[in-house]
Amino acid sequence: MREIVLDTETTGFRQNDGDRIVEIGCIELVNHVATGNNYHQYINPERAMPDEAFAVHGLSEEFLADFPVMADVMDAFIEFIGDAPLVIHNAEFDMRFINAELGLLGQQPLPMSRSIDTVRMAREKFPGAPASLDALCRRFSIDNSNRTLHGALLDAELLAEVYLELIGGRQPDLELAQDKVSEAMAIGETQRRDPRPHAASAAEKSAHAAFLEKIKDPLWTN
């Protein structure tokens, strides 16, 4: 099963007021294992960067000015994610911005049903506990020491680890491996030979006696 862990950075919180996506980071998982096939893109938002947003991710207008605009990268992004489920922390926010960008380009929105919201997962699993990405990293002892600022690819990498913990870590694979070991042991039990009897048969005793008679002056008679 293929899944995409996704994160975005933006110029703000209100796509209807002109805020835009400035960074997208994606991590590919296949059967809950990161493949190393990632997608990362900085995007020129074609607008000013508010101080509040810059304080969050550190992406300035000057830095982003030489990167492509969304119209030039959207097709590659859509091709990368394909039809895979999208694992997102606070999915409503990122999906809202992605669909706003698709709308500006005259393309169809992505259905919310494609998203897997890890905030919702965390709140269901740990009611009343903090559900931020940093809080979940602390809970699961995931090293996020490099996260001094938000970054789409780094956050997607951390989220992939958090997601695996939320679904039980590698436990599904571990249980499968344990089942295979148990099955192999059960087969071994059914195929085990009966123990060899230790007592010699009458024929073996007769052959042994004949052999002893042929020995002249055996040591054990001295």
Which active-site residues does the annotation give? 150
Q: b/e for 55-85, b at 16 or more Cβ within 10 A?
A: eebebeeeebeebeebeebbeebeebbeebb
Asked whether 40 and 157 are in contact (CB, 8 A), the reply is no
Distance, CA of 9 to CA of 151 (rounded, Å): 7
Asked whether 162 and 140 are in contact (CB, 8 A), the reply is yes
Distance, CA of 91 to CA of 118 (rounded, Å): 8
Q: Tokens in use for 193?
A: 């030979």
The 8-class DSSP code of residue 20 comes to -
